[in-house]
Structure 1
Amino acid sequence: MSKRVEGTFVLDTWDADKPYDERDGVTCTRVHVEKTFSGGLTGTSAAELTTVGTEAGPAAYVGIERFEGTLDGRTGAFLLQHNAGGERGKPWLTWKIVETSGSGDLTGLRGEGQIIITEDGGHSYTLDYELD
């Protein structure tokens, strides 16, 4: 049976390299991100992202994130695979737990969720998961 957790996170670090590709108004950049989570997920994470920007602003990103902390009171770590973009100006941001990446009390974890950016620029999340 699938469970859902929700909460918020803050960006502690957003360290963008110089774009590695800039052509026709489109840039590709590597970014290192660190976060602190609260809610159903409590802990910290580090992520490596590849972002795409256009003259209109952020357009897409992909990345891998390692979370360490607790999920519903169970301690361990796992990796998340990010995929984000936009459709007709509306962003979508999804993440999936990388299969077999769970450790500690989170061994056997699987699932997926969403990141939501609020109107004031805050970040919240949902994560639907199952644990063997």
Structure 2
Amino acid sequence: MPVANGEFEVKLLPAPNASLTEGSGIGRMTLDKRYHGLLEAEGYGEFLSYRSSVPTSAVYVAIEKVTGTLEGRNGSFALQHQGVMGGEFDGLRIIIVPDSGTDGLKGLRGKMDVRIEDGKHFYSLDYSFT
């Protein structure tokens, strides 16, 4: 599988009506991302989280639509995020939503890994086309 590596910037902002969940441990945010490298794209999405009373435990799910260029192909695709902090299922899983690729990215499939070093965000996208 080819791998696209690069850096990205992300902004998380409170979503409209996010205060409806105030005090419940549930948070809603919007995602605004810029990807650089073999993937040159913008990503927008919705982020839903739950933080327990234990500071080191939380979960999140998100859906993100990515629009731009990968390997010289223009189009868009969606990512599904599932993150767990703490406990036996600790980890992050980000997959390309099946059949979400459009235009030149039709048939795109794969997964994304993310790491943070010295406050900078990096991605590694393992992908193929069907």
2:98 aligned with 1:113? no
One of 121, 124, 129 as aligned partner of 2:122? 124
- Partner of 2:98, secondary structure, is coil
Q: Structure 1 pair 8/19, CA: closer, same or farther in 2 (3 Å)?
A: farther
More helix by share: 2
State how far apart, in whole Å, the 2-side matches of 1:6 and 1:113 are.
10
Q: Which residue of 2 aligns with 1:15?
A: 14
State how far apart, in whole Å, the 2-side matches of 1:37 and 1:69 are.
9
State how far apart, in whole Å, the 2-side matches of 1:3 and 1:19 are.
43
- Partner of 1:101, secondary structure, is coil
Counterpart contact for 2:58–2:86, Cα < 8 Å: no
- Partner of 1:18, secondary structure, is helix
Q: Structure 1 pair 81/48, CA: closer, same or farther in 2 (3 Å)?
A: same
More strand by share: 1
Q: What CA deviation, in whole Å up to 9, does each residue of 1:17-43 have, x standing for no partner?
A: 2261635xxx11111111111012111
Identity %: 33
CA RMSD of aligned residues (A): 2.3
Q: Detail structure 1 runs of 4+ shifted over 4 Å in the superposition.
A: none
Q: Which residue of 2 aligns with 1:79?
A: 78
When the two structures are superposed, what TM-score results if normalisation uses the length of structure 2? 0.85
Q: What CA deviation, in whole Å up to 9, does each residue of 1:43-99 have, x standing for no partner?
A: 1010101012234157221010000001122110000000111246xx632210000
- Structure 2 residue runs of 5 or longer lacking an equivalent are none
